[in-house]
Structure 1
């Protein structure tokens, strides 16, 4: 275990803007009713953000790993915190092949919040870091 007073963590919001290549852009993003696009065919609006053939969010630029709709991203994305995400904790510990597999593993997992693995800093010069003491 590391000494948490000296550990540096990723500021998730800044990390996403830098193209962190982590799990959050692979998870299911549920849309709020006012964010759902109306359909011309009369079917109900889709309640989640679509995925590409690689399982990444359709709004993720696969070359830069940046969000193509950052300024207009859904509320779920705006409110997301990678360091408190239960599904991310399951994914880090168990791995997963698809969202159904992840949901199955999560349904039988118990991970106390005090044992959550913090998403580590990859490059120290990245401005996307904060000291744990500052984050509390």
Structure 2
């Protein structure tokens, strides 16, 4: 997922990922110098993320990256953060019906500041704002 600047799109970022089927059990996605194994086995593969789990992992990474982006701006102090995400898949049509998340922050900041952090995460998260319109996406932020 290399972020690049295209002169024609000015401030827009573009991303590039290449995925190859390795065998009937797994595939591999590559971007930049990183690789991730994917569960593309119809029977499941416990050693890799399936597409739905990868979506939930992308959401949790987006949330943490949002925290990294806004904490210096807000002068928000934290010692650590954990994100827990659960999704429910419906069969017809197949889609992620609902996603619930918890953001657990190890901080001494006030409840108002925690709410401010959460609002900024929701407002500026690329993956968050891509998922939210088509999914029942609900979460909370709380202190550890």
Global fold match (TM > 0.5): no
Which structure exhibits the higher relative contact order, with contacts defined as CA atoms closer than 8 Å and separated by 6 or more residues? 1
Q: TM-score under structure 2 normalisation?
A: 0.26
More helix by share: 1
Please tell me whether Structure 1 or Structure 2 has the larger radius of gyration of its CA atoms.
Answer: 2
More strand by share: 2
Q: TM-score under structure 1 normalisation?
A: 0.27
